[in-house]
Structure 1
C-alpha cells in the first residue's frame, strides 16, 4: 500500500468513526461493518456519500459488498489514479483527515462526481437515482443542499405518477377509502390495502363513543407529562389491560411506538453494553440502539446460527447484552424465530426485547402477539408495541417485570419528558381491548382473508417471501419497476404501499399489502385481478411453475 492509499484507509476510518460515533479503538481493521459495528444500510449510504464527495470517486456500495474497513478502503483506493501523489499519513483527527482527503482529491484531478442535481434519472454510479442518493451531506457547507436536490428528484417522480406518499383520505377508511388523487386532481375511491387497522377497531362505534365520552370528561389532552400532571385513571386502566393481555406484571404507555423503543432501549443499555439486532429491525429499534451508545451488532435476518456465532465471538466482552427483534418484520411480514432466539439468549446470558407492533392483535389465539403464537407467553423479558395498528388508537407501550417497568418510569426519557396520549385516546383503546377479547371472530376473519390472499398470490407466481402475518409483501427488487407497479395499481383503483429505500435496502423494493378483517372476498378477488393485470402490463417476472 503506497502512502496515498494509506491516506484513503485513514480517511475511510475517520468517516466511519464520525457516522458510527465509535471510539477509535473499537474500529478494528477487520471488524465486520454490519455484524460487529452495527452499520446498517442507511448509515452505510451516508458514509459512502461523504467519501465519494471527499475523494471525488464514484463508488457504489451495498450492504455486504464491503464487510470490513479494509475491504471498504480497497474499493475506494481502486478508483484512485495509479500516479496518485505520495503523502504522509494524515493526522488521526477527523477534521484533519477530511482536509487531507480534499487536498488529495484535488491533486488526483479525478472527474467531478455526477450528482442528482439534473433532472436525469441516473445517479453518480450510472445507475438510476434512488432515495439513497440523498442521504448524507458530504463536505457541502450548506446542509440544505441535499434538500434542493431531493426536491427536483421528488418533483420528477411525482410528474411520473410515482410519488403518492402522503395522499389525504377523506372520511373513515376501512376496506375502501376516499382519497384525493393529486396526480389526477380529483377524489377517488380505492380498494385499501395500505392500512394497519387490521381488526377494524378504529371505526367501531363503541370505540368512538368511548372517545367522545372521555373527551367531555377529561378534555382534549392532558397538558403535562405522566410524572407531573398527565396521568389519569384512564391511562392506569389501559396499562393494566395491556399487562393482562400480554401476561406480564406491569406496563408503561408511551406517546408512540417509536418513542417506546427509543426510550426503553436507551434507558437499559449504554456504553460498555452490547445491543444485538436483526438487520431487518424497524427504524425505531435501530435509532434506539444508536441513541444508547452501546456497541451495536447486526445479524443476518432471522439467521440464528449467525446470531449464535456473534454471541460466542463477543462472549468475553464485559457489560450487558440485549437482543432486539421485531415479532413481525414490518416490510417482510415474516415472524421472528423466537424459540431459538430465547434459547441463545439464555445460553449467552442476554436479555430479549421483542417489538410487537404488527403482532399485537394479529398473532396468537387471542391476538396477544408473538409469544402467544409460540406458546411462550411471559417468557420474553420485554415486549414493546404500538397501539396505532390493530388496536385502532395511538401510542406505544412496553410490558415486563414490575421492577423493570418502574425503572423505566424514571429513566426512559421519551416517557419522562413528553406528554403522553390524551385520555380520550386511552379510553378508546380500553374499549378496543374489551371488544377484541369479546369478539374473537374478528381475528378469525382476518386470518381467513390472510390465508386466502397469500395462497392466491403464491399460486399466481408472485414472490411473497416467507410472510406469515397480515403483511404480505410482493417482492420486486428494482425500484423503478416497483414504482411502475404501484402506479399501475393505483390507476386501476388499488391503494397499497410501494416500499423503497430507506424502508428496504436498494435492490429490494416491493409492494406491501396489508390485509384487514373488513376485506370481503370480492375485495380480495378484485385485488388479485388488479395485481395480475399490473404485473402483465409491466412485464413483472412471475414464478412460471406456480403461474402455470
Structure 2
C-alpha cells in the first residue's frame, strides 16, 4: 500500500468535481489591484470571498508601517516567542489590545488557528469537559482533540440544548468550558450570547468566544459580539485573528484574569511556533488604530452587507438566517455549487465554494464575504451577476 493510497476516495471526488477546468480548491489570484479587485485566469474580477471586512489590506498607513518595519527589523524573527521571537512590536501590540479590549491579559500568536490550539488545547485537558456549538470552526475541534478533553456538542445556537447537556453534567458543569463563535463563518449568523450567559450564570462554567469574524465588525468600538450585546464581562476568554478585519496574519487571546499569562509557559503551540513577522505586527497595530479611529468603516461594511443580502434575497436565493458580512447562498448539490461558482467567475465575481462535510447540515454553499471597501456599484454588480445566473439557472446547470 502506498503512502497516499488512503486518499484515493478524496482524489476521485476531487477529480469528478474539478476535471480539467478552473477549480475552487486551488484558485490563484494572479494579480491584486485593490482590496476588492484582482485578476483570475486573465479576467478582472470583483473579490467577494476574501474576509477582508474593513478593506485594510491596502490601507496606506498599514503598508507604510509594514515597510518601515521590514527595513528596520528584517523579514522575520526566526524564532518562537519563548526563545528569540518576541520583539518590541509584539509586546506593544499586546499592550494596545489590553487597552482596546479592556482586559487584563492578552497574548499574541502566529495565527488565529494557533491561538485556538494554544489556548483551548492547553486549558481543555483530559480532565475537562467541553461543550461546543456543533458549527464551531475546525480549529476549535482540533484544539479540543489536542488537549484530550471530553467533547459534548450541542445543536447550533440552541441554548435549550446547551442547558440540557449542562444539567446532565451535574456538578461537573461548574468547571465545564463552553465554546462558541461571535459570527459563524459558514452561514454568517451570530451566537445567542446573552442567553448563553444566562445559562452560565445559573449552572457555572467558563465561556470562551472566538471573535474571528466579529472582531472589528460588531460592537460600538469594534470589539466584537460580546461588546455588541453588553456581556463582555461574562466572557472569560476572547479569541481572535488578525487575518480578517485587521488585514494581516496572526491571532490573539484576551482574558480578564492576568493569570492567563501562564499559558506562555504551558502551551506547546505558543512555545514551539515561530512568532509573527515584525512587518505583520506593525501593519496590525496600524489597522487596530484604524478600527478605533474610523468607525465609518464598520458603518459602510454593514450598509454593504445589508444591500447585498437584500439584493440576493430579492433575486430568489435561499440565504443564511440574517444579514451579515458573511452571506451564504444555499444550493442543492456540490455539482450545482461548482457550476454556479464557475459561472460567477465568468461574470466577473469571485466568491467561495464550500462543500460538505465542511458545511453545516451537509448543504452546499456559495459564500460571499463583504468588505467596507466595496463600492455600492460593485455590490450592485455582484447582485446583477447572481440575478442573471438565477434567470438562466436551468441552462447553466444543464450545461455542467
1:536 paired with 2:396, answer no
- Cα distance, 1:363 vs. partner? 0.7
User: Does 2:70 match 1:210?
Assistant: no
| 1:21 aligned partner | none
Q: Name stretches of at least 5 consecutive residues in structure 1 with no aligned partner.
A: 1-140, 182-186, 541-548
Give the drift of 1:334. 0.4
Deviation at 1:522? 1.2
Equivalent residues in 2 for 1:365-514, closer than 5 Å: 365-505=220-360, 507-514=362-369
TM-score, with structure 1 as normaliser: 0.69
2:81 aligned with 1:220, yes or no? no
- State the partner residue of 1:189: 44
Counterpart Cα distance in 1 of 2:52 and 2:177: 31
| TM-score of the pair, normalised by structure 2 | 0.94
- Which SS does the other structure have where 1:314 is aligned? helix
Mapped pair 1:144 → 2:4? yes
Q: How many residues are aligned here? A: 394
Contact 1:250 1:400 in 2 (8 A): yes
Aligned counterparts of 2:329 and 2:144: Cα–Cα separation in 1: 29
Secondary structure (helix, strand or coil) at the match of 1:426 reads helix
Residue aligning to 1:178 = 39
Aligned to 2:398: none
The structure-2 alpha-carbon separation of the partners of 1:407 and 1:288, relative to structure 1 and needing over 3 Å to count, comes to: same
Q: Is the 8 A contact 2:103 2:255 kept in 1?
A: yes
Please say if residues 248 and 378 of structure 1, whose CA atoms lie closer than 8 Å, have aligned partners that are also in contact.
no
Greater displacement, 236-245 / 203-212: 236-245
1:244 Cα deviation after fit? 2.0
Q: Which residue of 1 aligns with 2:149?
A: 294
Q: How many Å separate the matches in 2 of 1:500 and 1:528?
A: 22
Out of 147, 160, 163, the position equivalent to 2:23 is 163
Segment drifting more, 168-177 vs 348-357 = 168-177
Contact 1:482-1:510 within 8 A present in 2 as well: yes
Is the Cα–Cα contact under 8 Å of residues 276 and 299 in structure 1 kept in the other structure? yes
Q: 1:162 to 1:508 in 2, by over 3 A?
A: farther
3-state secondary structure, aligned to 2:99 = helix
Partner-residue secondary structure (3-state), 1:311: helix
Structure 2 counterpart SS, 1:378: helix
Measure how far apart 1:505 and its partner are.
Answer: 4.6
168-177 vs 352-361, greater mean Cα deviation? 168-177
Within 2, Cα distance between the matches of 1:467 and 1:411?
A: 40
Structure of greater relative contact order (alpha carbons < 8 Å, 6+ residues apart): 2
Matched-pair contact (CA < 8 Å) for 2:315–2:386 = no
CA offset digits 1:54-112 (Å, max 9, x no partner) = xxxxxxxxxxxxxxxxxxxxxxxxxxxxxxxxxxxxxxxxxxxxxxxxxxxxxxxxxxx
Query: Given that residues 273 and 318 in structure 1 are in contact (C-alpha distance below 8 angstroms), is that contact kept between their aligned partners in structure 2?
Result: no
Counterpart residue number, 2:161: 306
4+ aligned runs moved over 6 Å, structure 1 = none
Corresponding residue SS for 2:365: strand
1:336 match: 191
